[in-house]
Structure 1
């Protein structure tokens, strides 16, 4: 897989996550973004940060931070944030603390996910399930970028899956 095709795959997974989860948040708030104390643009930004955290957590899940994972991360998220990520190389990213400990993010559901779960329980909707599906798509895409899938990556997928589904409930 070329770096461009890998970046395209991750970019498409991130776009789908951002589109679906942002729409869910807007529906949960009834279009009144003030209900969560944020504008619609802020909500979309928060969802993009969430996608970034998911991607970083899975890159860090085996502690390897390979070029095959980092180039798509840089390409996908570099232009979405006002940071120096867009001009970075994998080597420069590895020299920073950007990914160090990122896998810990998988240990508990995020606040954004909790909002969707709460709305689902109150309204009988399935927004959290949409989040789960799209988050797992990002996770699987990141894991597939490596030439070799490690036990650490597989364990992280299972842990994240179990954590999210455990909160969604039956």
Structure 2
């Protein structure tokens, strides 16, 4: 219960950071340049697990990620997919996000999804069993057809033995295909 409360507090804090620009910028004139990005992209990067379940083999670990985003029409929603891996196994994480434009070419987003592990009981940066995943992040276009992204994910009750939650930090470079 204590870990769930910590996860809830962390997610609430991240959500507040994302929602605050909406409230602050609500009254600004519409003549400003378009904020945000509608890019659909695929990217590759690194992943670091920040937690473990207390077992010797389930230490926070380092790996990689492949991330994709497809913008869903004129809505603030996107379909996202992530594969994170390390030297032992991988996790596939389909997600839906709410995207918030915060600057020209830049979005903040919050996500919800589910992590499917290739092999349960082997550690990934996001725990050692299938779990509900929530997260928050930022993506920004830095050049024509090139984006950078970073996000934090929390796997809720994603450790088999302790029932604890896992936290991973992910980042990388993406190629805009649409």
TM-score normalized with structure 2 length: 0.30
More strand by share: 2
More helix by share: 1
TM-score normalized with structure 1 length: 0.31
Higher relative contact order (Cα pairs below 8 Å, separated by 6+ residues) = 1
